Every structure is written in structure tokens, then in C-alpha cells.
Amino acid sequence: MEKYVLITGASSGIGKTTAIKLAQNGYKVFAGIRKQEDKISVESENSNIQGIFLDVTDIESIKSAFNEISKFTDVLYALINNAGIAYAGAVECLPVETIQKQFDINVFGAIRVAQQFMPMLCNSKIVNISSMASFGLFPFISPYCASKRSLDIFFNALMLECKSPELKVISIKPGVIKTKIWEKSIEANKKVMESLPESSIEKYRCEFEYLVKNAEKNKDKGLDPERVAGLILKVLNSKNPRPSYTIGADAKMAELFSRLPLCITNFFTKFIMKKRMN
């Protein structure tokens, strides 16, 4: 029996790498993309990959993707919610519209897709690409942290509520990964910063400059997406996967640190941020 998998945000990074990895191991992969050139690129990697136009913020796009996939199968072995972006800024001056956009992509987008495809997911696996940010330790990227925590909470509830006891929800929490999300986030956040009042820009100038430098550094360091793709393959091949996996030394450290009393984590987080600013 062929195993069909849908991956959102499969044009690059973890999504594309996972699509290739799964296709190489016999899975039939529907790769969610938004551009024709991305469709051509991902399909050229393996004959088991089919690009599907899918914008997680557009319900009509999701319905269209569902109808297209329905021509091939009425059962998905797995849904991998990977589409996402990271917005940054100080809560004091971050536009609420930016926070809403963060959640619209990272949280509501995943919920929209899951709700639409639930008829195909009765005895399947839903794999969410969460983040070490879900442990909530990182100031100035609170929209991203909160969105990843929310993603985990909503989908754990989905698993508990689901009438099918065979549905499994798995959260993958990577540390820093070398992907294009950093480049996309730098561009997106520059536009946000430019829209702020000059007083806010001046007040947090050092922090904003640090965020940009850190994002530029992250795009060239961290885990290779291949490591995450390998873990996802392991999860899909497992009969009883764990509900949560943390991958990367930095992610494991963040997980341990998050278990300390909040007053202690806050103290050390402020200390580390002050040291980096200097």
C-alpha cells in the first residue's frame, strides 16, 4: 500500500529536504509550494514528489489542494506542518498586525490545513515542525516563541479530542537550523522595523541590530536540515513515536533550562542578553 504524505512549506529548507528524504524512501510526497518555479524545482528531485500549490493563509488555496490530492488518494499516511516564518521585535512597540500575521502563518495555517484534511487523517500521523523557541526563553522573538508553543498546545488538544484513537501527533523541536527562514525573516523584520516610530527604533536600536546580526549568523550555522528530515523519516517509520522530539544541542539545553523556576531563567536570560548587547 502506497504511503502518501503532505508537507506544507516544501519549497526550501526543512520542508524540501524532508520531501526528498521521504521520496527516496518510497513515500509518495505532496509538496506544498506557492510558486511555479518551486514546483518545478522540487519535482525535479524525485519522481515520487508532486508539487501542490498551497498557501496556508488562504482557505481557498487549501480547499483546492485538498481537491487535487483527492484525485490520487483518500488517505494520507501523514501531514507535516512545516510552513512558517519568524517575526521579531520588542513587545512594547511591535505592531499587533505583525503578531497576528505570525500566528496566521505558524498556527492558524496549520489548523486550517489539519481541519480541511481530517477526513484523510483518521489513522495517520500529524508531524508539527515546532522549535526550541516553544520553551519560551528568547526575548525579542516572542511572536515566534508564542506561535510555536500555541502550535504544540492546539495539536495536543486535537489528538486528545480526536474520535480516532489511532491518530498520532508529534512535535519536532529543532534548535538553530541552516535554512532560508533566516533570510526571509530578516527581510520581513526590516519592513516591520522601518514602520516603527523613530523613538521606538532609537530605544531598541542595539537590540534590533543584534537580532539582524544573529539571524545572518544563524543562516550559516546550526544543524543541517538533513538531520531533521532523518528524524521525521524515523518518526513516520515508527509504530509508536514519542509525542515530542528535541533535536540539536542548543535545543536540548533550552529544554533543560526551561525546567528551572521562572525567576531563575529570567535572571540568567537578562544577564546573557545584557552581556551580548555589550
pLDDT tens by residue, 177-215? 887 666 677 777 777 777 778 887 788 878 777 777 777
Average pLDDT of every residue of the chain: 91
Q: Are 144 and 134 in contact (CB under 8 A)?
A: no
Those residues whose C-beta lies under 8 Å from the C-beta of residue 81, and which sit 6 or more positions away, are 8, 109, 110, 113, 114, 126, 127, 128, 129, 151, 155
Q: Which residues are catalytic?
A: 144, 148
Q: What is the pLDDT of residues 110-140, one digit of tens each?
A: 999 999 999 999 889 999 999 999 998 888 8
CATH superfamily for 4-277 is NAD(P)-binding Rossmann-like Domain (3.40.50.720)
Residue 214 is predicted with a pLDDT of 73
Residue the block writes with cell 490530492: 69
Cα–Cα dist 24/170, whole Å: 22
